[in-house]
Structure 1
Amino acid sequence: MSFVIVTGALALLMLAAYRGYSVILFAPLAALLAVLLTDPSAVAPVFTGLFMERMVGFLKLYFPVFLLGAVFGKLIEMSGFAQSIAAAVTRALGQQRTMLAIVILCALLTYGGVSLFVVVFAAYPFAAEMFRRSNIPKRLIPGTIALGAFTFTMDALPGSPQIQNIIPTTFFGTTAWAAPMLGLCGAVIVLIAGMAYLDWRRRVALRKGEGYGEGHINEPDTIAVTQVVNPLIAVLPLLVVGVVNLILTRWIPNVHEARIETQLAGLAQPLVTQLSSVTAIWAVLGALLAGIVTVLLFAFRPIMHKFAEGTKTAVGGALLASMNTASEYGFGAVIAALPGFLLIRDALMAIPDPLVNEAITVTTLAGITGSASGGLSIALAAMSEQFLTAAQAAGIPPEVLHRVAAMASGGMDSLPHNGAVITLLAVTGLTHRQAYKDIFAITCIKTLAVFVVIAIYYLTGLV
Structure 2
Amino acid sequence: MSILIAILALAALMLAAYRGYSVILFAPIAALGAVLLTDPSAVAPAFSGLFMDKMVGFVKLYFPVFLLGALFGKLVELSGFSRAIVEAVIKALGRERAIPVIVIVCALLTYGGVSLFVVVFAVYPFAAEMFRQSGIPKRLMPATIALGAFTFTMDAMPGTPQIQNIIPTTFFNTTAWAAPWLGFLGSVFIFILGVAYLERARRRAQRANEGYGTNLRNEPETPPDIALPHPLIALAPLVLVGVSNLLFTHWIPHWFPGVYTLALPGLPAPIPVDASKLVGIWAVLAALACGSLFTLIFGWRGMRNGPSIAEGSKTAVGGAMLATMNTASEYGFGAIIAALPGFMLIAQGLKAIPNPLVNEAVTINLLAGITGSASGGLSIALAAMSNQFIAAANAAHIPLEVMHRIASMASGGMDTLPHNGAVITLLAVTGLSHREAYANIFVMTLIKIASAFFAIGLYYAFGLI
Please give the range of the TM-score, normalised by the shorter of the 2 chains.
Answer: over 0.9
Q: Per-residue deviation at 1:304?
A: 4.5
Kept after mapping to 2: 8 A contact 1:159/1:177:
yes
Alignment match, 2:364 = 362
Q: Letter of the aligned partner of 1:85 in structure 2?
A: I
Q: Per-residue deviation at 1:142?
A: 0.2
Q: Letter of the aligned partner of 2:111 in structure 1?
A: Y
Return the match for 2:449 from 447, 450, 457.
447
Q: Letter of the aligned partner of 2:341 in structure 1?
A: P
Give distance in 1, aligned partners of 2:229 and 2:328.
37
Kept after mapping to 2: 8 A contact 1:83/1:223:
no
- Cα RMSD, aligned residues only: 0.8
Alignment match, 1:397 = 399
Q: Letter of the aligned partner of 1:409 in structure 2?
A: S
Q: Per-residue deviation at 1:219?
A: 0.3
Alignment match, 2:414 = 412
Alignment match, 1:210 = 210
Alignment match, 2:138 = 138
Alignment match, 2:263 = 263
Q: TM-score, normalised by structure 2?
A: 0.99
Within the alignment, does 1:436 sit opposite 2:459 as a pair?
no
Alignment match, 2:166 = 166
Alignment match, 2:462 = 460
Kept after mapping to 1: 8 A contact 2:113/2:160:
yes
Task: Report matched runs for 1:278-357 at 5 Å.
Answer: 278-304=278-304, 306-357=308-359
Give distance in 1, aligned partners of 2:449 and 2:91.
34
Kept after mapping to 2: 8 A contact 1:154/1:160:
yes
Q: Letter of the aligned partner of 1:110 in structure 2?
A: T
Give distance in 1, aligned partners of 2:172 and 2:34.
34
Give distance in 2, aligned partners of 1:139 and 1:224.
23
Give 5+ residue unaligned stretches, structure 2.
Answer: none
Give distance in 2, aligned partners of 1:165 and 1:91.
37
Give distance in 1, aligned partners of 2:28 and 2:224.
45
Q: 1:353 to 1:205 in 2, by over 3 A?
A: same
Q: Letter of the aligned partner of 1:425 in structure 2?
A: L
Within the alignment, does 1:39 sit opposite 2:39 as a pair?
yes
Alignment match, 1:115 = 115
Alignment match, 2:229 = 229
Give distance in 2, aligned partners of 1:304 and 1:154.
37
Q: Percent identity?
A: 67
Q: Letter of the aligned partner of 1:389 in structure 2?
A: A
Give distance in 1, aligned partners of 2:289 and 2:303.
16
Kept after mapping to 2: 8 A contact 1:407/1:450:
yes
Give distance in 1, aligned partners of 2:309 and 2:144.
29
Q: Letter of the aligned partner of 1:455 in structure 2?
A: G
Give distance in 2, aligned partners of 1:92 and 1:406.
36
The superposition leaves residues 133-189 of structure 1 with CA deviations (integer Å, 9 ceiling, x where unpaired) of 000000000000000000000000001010000000011101111110100010000
Give distance in 1, aligned partners of 2:397 and 2:271.
47
Q: Per-residue deviation at 1:275?
A: 2.1
Give distance in 2, aligned partners of 1:304 and 1:45.
52
Q: Letter of the aligned partner of 2:224 in structure 1?
A: A
Task: Report matched runs for 1:82-101 at 5 Å.
Answer: 82-101=82-101
How many residue pairs are counted as aligned between the two chains? 463
Give distance in 2, aligned partners of 1:341 and 1:21.
25
- Please give the secondary structure, in 2, of the residue aligned with 1:294: helix
Q: 1:204 to 1:226 in 2, by over 3 A?
A: same
- Please give the secondary structure, in 2, of the residue aligned with 1:272: strand
Give distance in 2, aligned partners of 1:37 and 1:66.
35
Q: Letter of the aligned partner of 1:407 in structure 2?
A: M
Alignment match, 1:181 = 181
Give distance in 2, aligned partners of 1:268 and 1:179.
50
Q: Per-residue deviation at 1:226?
A: 4.9
Q: Letter of the aligned partner of 1:91 in structure 2?
A: K
Q: Per-residue deviation at 1:269?
A: 2.2
Give distance in 1, aligned partners of 2:178 and 2:348.
27
Give distance in 2, aligned partners of 1:367 and 1:129.
33
Q: Per-residue deviation at 1:213?
A: 1.0
Give distance in 2, aligned partners of 1:271 and 1:237.
35
Q: Letter of the aligned partner of 1:188 in structure 2?
A: V
The superposition leaves residues 344-385 of structure 1 with CA deviations (integer Å, 9 ceiling, x where unpaired) of 100111110000000011110000000000000000000011
Give distance in 2, aligned partners of 1:225 and 1:105.
26
Give distance in 2, aligned partners of 1:346 and 1:197.
36
Give distance in 1, aligned partners of 2:236 and 2:97.
22
- Please give the secondary structure, in 1, of the residue aligned with 2:272: strand
Kept after mapping to 2: 8 A contact 1:66/1:318:
yes
Give 5+ residue unaligned stretches, structure 1.
Answer: none
Q: Per-residue deviation at 1:439?
A: 0.4
The superposition leaves residues 178-201 of structure 1 with CA deviations (integer Å, 9 ceiling, x where unpaired) of 110100010000000001110111
Return the match for 1:426 from 428, 434, 455.
428
Kept after mapping to 2: 8 A contact 1:9/1:30:
yes
Give distance in 2, aligned partners of 1:310 and 1:5.
44
Kept after mapping to 1: 8 A contact 2:226/2:302:
no
State the 4+ residue runs in structure 1 displaced beyond 4 angstroms. none
Q: Letter of the aligned partner of 1:115 in structure 2?
A: S
Q: Letter of the aligned partner of 2:464 in structure 1?
A: L
Kept after mapping to 2: 8 A contact 1:6/1:34:
yes
Alignment match, 1:23 = 23
Give distance in 1, aligned partners of 2:456 and 2:463.
10
Alignment match, 2:102 = 102
Q: Letter of the aligned partner of 2:447 in structure 1?
A: I
Give distance in 2, aligned partners of 1:159 and 1:219.
35
The superposition leaves residues 256-304 of structure 1 with CA deviations (integer Å, 9 ceiling, x where unpaired) of 2211112111222221111232000000000000000000110113325
Give distance in 2, aligned partners of 1:6 and 1:271.
39
The superposition leaves residues 379-405 of structure 1 with CA deviations (integer Å, 9 ceiling, x where unpaired) of 000001110110011111111011000
- Please give the secondary structure, in 1, of the residue aligned with 2:68: helix
Alignment match, 2:61 = 61
Alignment match, 1:239 = 239
- Please give the secondary structure, in 1, of the residue aligned with 2:364: helix
> Which shows bigger deviation, 260-269 or 217-226?
217-226
Q: Per-residue deviation at 1:225?
A: 4.8
- Please give the secondary structure, in 2, of the residue aligned with 1:11: helix
Give distance in 2, aligned partners of 1:443 and 1:269.
49
